[in-house]
Structure 1
Amino acid sequence: MKRTFSKVVLTAVSAAVLLAACSKVPDESKHIPKTAGVVLDLNAKQISQKLVTNGVTMDKLFSAVQNKDTANQMTKAWKDAENSGVDLKGHFFASVVFQGVATENKSYLSLTASLTDAAKFEDYLKKNVPDFSLKTQNDFKYIWQEKQQAVIGWTKSTVIYISLFNANDLQKFAPPGTPGLPAPTDNNEYQEEAAVADSAVAVPAALVAAEETAPKAWVDEIDHLFHLKKEETAGSIEAFAKLLKENADMGVFVNPEAIYNSAQFTMIPANFKKLMQDSYYTGTVNFEKGKIVMDGSSFMGKELAAIYKKSDKKVIDMDMLKKYPSDNITGFLSYAFDFHVIGEIIKSTGMDGLANAFLSGKSGLTLDDILNAFEGQLTYIASDFAITKKESEYFPGEFTEKPEAKWIFNLKVGNKDAFNKVMTSPLLKDMFAREGDRYVISNPMVAAGFPPISITEKFITVGSDSVLLQQYLAGKGSIKLPEGIESKVKGSMIGGYVDLEKITKTIPEDKLADDEKPLMQSVKNLFKDISLVGHPLEGNVQHTEAVLTFKNKDENSLVQLINFGTAAAKVIQDKKAKEKAYEDSLLSAPVDTAATAAY
């Protein structure tokens, strides 16, 4: 067991799966600063209630996935965590606070929890933290973990752990050329630089202190978090306060303004930062009987909301979806969005002149030409998903299994004059030629390798095959959607659906080992489908809901996931045991000494 408070918190997160809860949920959120860019909330009490009600306990979980010796070790670690003084029945918050530019290394990760017994917590740290050295400041105690470069501070009721968050790591997940992040370098060079950086950023030079002495800046920051004024807390932000009132199993809060204002993204225009002022995102996850419900809310600030309110309040065009000719739907995604919103956002940042200059130089078009050319309605539909065997065109007699599906992508044209201007612009005139009321690909070789496509002044439509495309364009088809899906997505700006049951049913089992087949059957019997609905803007908030539905409607979804996870872990454990037994048998096999000598 890694003997750090971070391990205690991770163990406490595991507690969410295994504890009966009867204590009052503490108000840990008062130690989350409003400058936090990302906040994650785990409601251990609520999650544990759902699981324990369904008979999921720590002992059962350990016995299901571990051998006896390991289970005993884990049980002991768990008992230690239970007696650590940390409230394993409360909320756990993880926050990322962005401060300064990335190279200053002032950003940090904060973990916040409640204590039921501060004395027990101190004893736990003494037993599990090497070189434990207790310090005090004002009304709290703290220790400095040299190796982890982290401070653990606690009062009688709360514990806070903070450690350096290296914002430079964000570039690993950002697209090349993201404003404010370093330009990509040669991979080897990057790895060498990253290694140097990792060793150098443990603590900023300005924060270096004597060995085993916590950097004053980190201690002062914990002191600040313990004594935040109400107006300094994330709870003073309406979006975050609403998230807490949801009392969800899990929650997330994102404050773009806090990230931008921290100078992490130095090249983002000031006008864009102003546009995003008072804009936030919150999301919740709830594990219910037979489903997982995920809700998201985008809170728009005054300026951003004003742009959206000026635009057309579009909803998806159901005709584009309903004329798909199939009753074997795998899934679809329909989207309605006024593209002029993009133009207004660009104009509000003062970048429209640059955009128009670039477009004009390349194509003779303006930003408005492109935005006017399209209606902002698109639909993608797939059906008849299957895993098929196909013979290799290069190696006759060799077959591979590949997923296949029929599909249609349809984009609605807006102003036809603007559309024709785009299609005949210098950028596209050599790619497409007009034939009557439609455009076709000019180069026959390009056309031969391109999926069947139809381009008219009404729609741009692409299909998996020409027969399906013509059936769709004829408009005589009638899609067959699962019960309740059409009414669910009708009137929304985003509508989506995937039939997971149909997809998993096609997964072949012939190449699986006998002991793996039951697990695959469990996969096929687990999920039913997933749906997505994005509602039009109401006031300054846009709501989105995704629902993952399970085939078993009578059991809590988290319980089903855990039961599946323990079954999968058992299969993996058994497989490792068999592999080890086989290796041991080879090592212990007698050697033919006579044959060896003769050789």
Structure 2
Amino acid sequence: MHSKRSNISRVFSIAVVAAILLTACAKTPEESKHIPKNAGVVIGINSKQIVQKLVTNGITMDKFFSSLQEQDTSSEAAKAMKDIENSGVDINSNFFASVVFGENGAASYVSLTGSLKDAGKFENFLKQKVQGVTPTAKGDFTYAWLPADEALVGWNKQTVIYLRAFDMDELKHRGQRKMMGIPDGDDQDSSEDAAIVDSAAAIPTVLTVAEDGPTTWVPVMDHLFHLKDNETAGSIEAFKSLLKENADATFFVNPQVIVNGQQLTMMPANFKELLDGSFYTAAVNFEEGKVVMNGRSYAGKKMAEIYKKYGNITLDMDMLEKYPSDNIDAFVAYGYDMRMLGDIIKTTGMDGIVNMGLGQAQLTMDDILNAFKGQMVFVSSDFSMGKKPNPYFPQDSIEKADSKWVFAMKVGDKAAFEKVMNSPMVKQWLHKEGDQYVMEQAMPGMPALSINDKLVVAASDSALLQSYLSGKGKATLDNEIAGKIKGNPLGAYVNFEKFAAGMPADQLQGPDSSLKLQAKNLLKDLRAVSQPFNGSTQESQVVLNFKNSSENSLAQLVNLGMAFAKYHKEHKDDDNTAAGDSMMVPQGLDSAAVAP
């Protein structure tokens, strides 16, 4: 489909990139007034902050697009940038991408909203670039149907809105076809330059519904241009608060309208009510040496009541700290009252179905949820990559990852736990010896286990299991992350630097060795923490740290992307030759057996 589209879709895609790299945005995002209240997902950009961070690090549009060009002459992306300059679109405005899920049989759509600095110029641009386009006035705005895009664009003196339908079922089917290796007609017809533009703009995949046409979408466009204050996303306090964040990028999710959408009509009505007033927002900032995402989960009235009923459970630091290693690669520690999940299921009216499914095991949902306290940890350490004997061909070796790990979970109500362990579902696999439950029969490849009425533990090997259970070991944790997660319900850590260090040296060889090394030396670690529920919201933070702490993280990511694009451009002929050679191998012969 890409090659059949008119230039207008590329103009909007590149305009988003231009806004990120070139512009300074207004303090008040006027464009947000055209985002409807039933938008399920909204993405916003603070161009002013982002441009300062990129330009300060020497990244300009010229450098960015020159890295994407396949040849020395101007690429389609560069041409689109020139078109934008003459299109009347104000690249100094904010851009919002919104996903609206249709309700009561209405079609879903994606809209891009921006500002115009010259509406007349924009109309002339459409006439020049889109064959057969017919601008039509409707009240105080004008619209035009773009047949090649199967999309509608509308504008007035200040604002331009571009919207296209998408079919969630078709999106799922396309994903299934790709997994099965079935080619898509759209894939065969797409051009590389359009793919580059779409990926750079990071706009959600859109699948059109051709039969809708302008008859369906003109009323939608009319509605977006004339939203009342109480019909906009800004009338939602969570969204309004998000717009006030001093962030480089923002994300807003309204789960209730997604569930109410036509794709999820089979969900119980009570579940939809449970989500009423629940939202998720996130503010992302690219700082020197790190990316920081501050998230906030809003709980509606019914969900808040469930939270308050059980109070806050925090993660158990002792379960984490007694892991016996000074070489920890990653961990997740969690504290959650399992009975909250039961109340959520009961609120939706689905508990009867769940209990019916557990009836054969002589258990109820409450038995299982009461049996476990919800405090759990997973810790891994000593990651390595090395050659191991091939289990199928002992004379050969394979490259294999290896690590030590422990998973532990606290037991809750003892009586409920014993009922679960003595149920037919579990008893066929485990039996009790003293205070321990052991496997009926040893099975190859199974982890080492320790199960009693206090703790359930699985480990990569018996020695590590016994050392963990003894409690004599002491994990070496970063003081900062340990201090932040203590007293909170969730903490997580991943040390990318250690995982990268375990990569074999021979995998860094080849013509792209410098590129591999640049990627290997990019990230340091990831740290995440979630704070207790405060009665209405729950705060969380994810920090992605880079090894280079003196350069802005966005600049580092863009520079790496430009390096990849440059390498692809310089070695495109080599890649095509290699692909052609592999296609010439006769069927039935292993390509590895063919002499160079």
1:26, 1:114 within 8 Å by CA — same for their partners in 2? Answer: no
| Partner-residue secondary structure (3-state), 2:152 | strand
1:15, 1:48 within 8 Å by CA — same for their partners in 2? Answer: no
Judging changes above 3 Å, is the alpha-carbon distance between structure 1 residues 34 and 121 closer, same or farther for their aligned structure 2 residues?
same
Q: Distance in 2 between matches of 1:402 and 1:16?
A: 45
Unaligned runs of 5+ in 1: 176-183, 193-197, 209-213, 585-599
Match of 1:590 in 2: none
| Partner-residue secondary structure (3-state), 2:466 | helix
Residue 77 of structure 1 deviates from its aligned partner by 2.6
Match of 2:495 in 1: 499
Q: Which moved more, 1:254-263 or 1:423-432?
A: 254-263
1:85, 1:120 within 8 Å by CA — same for their partners in 2? Answer: yes
1:33 is aligned, of 24, 33, 36, to 36
Q: Which moved more, 1:222-231 or 1:389-398?
A: 389-398
Q: Distance in 1 between matches of 2:503 and 2:74?
A: 34
Residues 317-466 of structure 1: matches in 2 within 5 Å? 317-359=316-358, 361-444=359-442, 446=443, 448-466=444-462
2:166, 2:207 within 8 Å by CA — same for their partners in 1? Answer: no
2:371, 2:412 within 8 Å by CA — same for their partners in 1? Answer: yes
Residue 264 of structure 1 deviates from its aligned partner by 2.8
1:547 is aligned, of 543, 547, 566, to 543
Identity of aligned residues (%): 49
The answer on 1:14 being equivalent to 2:27 is no
Aligned length: 557
Residue 483 of structure 1 deviates from its aligned partner by 3.7
| Partner-residue secondary structure (3-state), 1:69 | coil
1:96, 1:165 within 8 Å by CA — same for their partners in 2? Answer: no
Residues 194-209 of structure 1: matches in 2 within 5 Å? 201-204=209-212
Residue 79 of structure 1 deviates from its aligned partner by 2.2
1:530 is aligned, of 526, 532, 539, to 526
Residue 467 of structure 1 deviates from its aligned partner by 0.7
Residue 458 of structure 1 deviates from its aligned partner by 0.9
2:166, 2:209 within 8 Å by CA — same for their partners in 1? Answer: no
Q: Distance in 2 between matches of 1:451 and 1:28?
A: 55
Q: Which amino acid aligns with 2:422?
A: T
Q: Which amino acid aligns with 2:326?
A: D
Q: Which amino acid aligns with 2:153?
A: I
1:98, 1:108 within 8 Å by CA — same for their partners in 2? Answer: yes
Q: Distance in 1 between matches of 2:175 and 2:102?
A: 19
| Partner-residue secondary structure (3-state), 1:450 | coil
Judging changes above 3 Å, is the alpha-carbon distance between structure 1 residues 174 and 358 closer, same or farther for their aligned structure 2 residues?
farther
Match of 1:131 in 2: 132
Q: Which amino acid aligns with 2:452?
A: T
Judging changes above 3 Å, is the alpha-carbon distance between structure 1 residues 7 and 66 closer, same or farther for their aligned structure 2 residues?
closer
Give the number of the structure whose alpha-carbon radius of gyration is greater: 1
Match of 2:153 in 1: 152
The answer on 1:66 being equivalent to 2:69 is yes
Match of 2:275 in 1: 276
Q: Which amino acid aligns with 1:379?
A: V
| Partner-residue secondary structure (3-state), 1:18 | helix
Q: Which amino acid aligns with 1:147?
A: A
Residue 134 of structure 1 deviates from its aligned partner by 1.2
Unaligned runs of 5+ in 2: 186-205, 581-596
Q: TM-score, normalised by structure 1?
A: 0.87
Residues 473-484 of structure 1: matches in 2 within 5 Å? 473-484=469-480
Q: Distance in 1 between matches of 2:181 and 2:59?
A: 47
2:165, 2:208 within 8 Å by CA — same for their partners in 1? Answer: no
Match of 1:564 in 2: 560
Match of 1:246 in 2: 245
1:509, 1:520 within 8 Å by CA — same for their partners in 2? Answer: no
Q: TM-score, normalised by structure 2?
A: 0.88
Judging changes above 3 Å, is the alpha-carbon distance between structure 1 residues 365 and 167 closer, same or farther for their aligned structure 2 residues?
same
Match of 1:223 in 2: 222
| Partner-residue secondary structure (3-state), 2:264 | coil
| Partner-residue secondary structure (3-state), 1:428 | helix
The answer on 1:165 being equivalent to 2:166 is yes
| Partner-residue secondary structure (3-state), 2:356 | helix
Residues 76-225 of structure 1: matches in 2 within 5 Å? 76-100=79-103, 104=105, 106-169=107-170, 171=172, 201-204=209-212, 214-215=214-215, 217-225=216-224
1:4, 1:129 within 8 Å by CA — same for their partners in 2? Answer: yes
Match of 2:298 in 1: 299
1:257, 1:279 within 8 Å by CA — same for their partners in 2? Answer: yes
Q: Distance in 1 between matches of 2:365 and 2:325?
A: 38
Q: Which moved more, 1:268-277 or 1:501-510?
A: 501-510
Q: Distance in 2 between matches of 1:115 and 1:99?
A: 28
Judging changes above 3 Å, is the alpha-carbon distance between structure 1 residues 560 and 574 closer, same or farther for their aligned structure 2 residues?
same
Judging changes above 3 Å, is the alpha-carbon distance between structure 1 residues 384 and 4 closer, same or farther for their aligned structure 2 residues?
same
Q: Which amino acid aligns with 2:311?
A: D
Residue 535 of structure 1 deviates from its aligned partner by 1.0
Q: Distance in 2 between matches of 1:76 and 1:188?
A: 34
Q: Which moved more, 1:470-479 or 1:36-45?
A: 36-45
Judging changes above 3 Å, is the alpha-carbon distance between structure 1 residues 396 and 355 closer, same or farther for their aligned structure 2 residues?
closer
Residue 221 of structure 1 deviates from its aligned partner by 1.2
Q: Which amino acid aligns with 2:472?
A: K
Q: Which amino acid aligns with 2:399?
A: E
Q: Distance in 2 between matches of 1:350 and 1:326?
A: 46
Residue 155 of structure 1 deviates from its aligned partner by 0.6
Q: Distance in 2 between matches of 1:59 and 1:257?
A: 43
| Partner-residue secondary structure (3-state), 1:327 | coil
Judging changes above 3 Å, is the alpha-carbon distance between structure 1 residues 395 and 283 closer, same or farther for their aligned structure 2 residues?
same
1:488 is aligned, of 461, 484, 488, to 484
Q: Which amino acid aligns with 1:87?
A: D
1:515, 1:571 within 8 Å by CA — same for their partners in 2? Answer: no
Match of 1:181 in 2: none
Judging changes above 3 Å, is the alpha-carbon distance between structure 1 residues 251 and 311 closer, same or farther for their aligned structure 2 residues?
same
Residue 69 of structure 1 deviates from its aligned partner by 2.7
Judging changes above 3 Å, is the alpha-carbon distance between structure 1 residues 271 and 62 closer, same or farther for their aligned structure 2 residues?
closer
Q: Distance in 1 between matches of 2:348 and 2:68?
A: 55
Match of 1:594 in 2: none
Q: Distance in 2 between matches of 1:17 and 1:139?
A: 30
| Partner-residue secondary structure (3-state), 1:264 | helix
Q: Distance in 1 between matches of 2:68 and 2:389?
A: 41
Cα RMSD of the aligned pairs, angstroms, is 2.8
Q: Distance in 2 between matches of 1:22 and 1:354?
A: 52
Q: Which amino acid aligns with 2:476?
A: K
Q: Distance in 2 between matches of 1:363 and 1:301?
A: 35
Residue 469 of structure 1 deviates from its aligned partner by 0.7
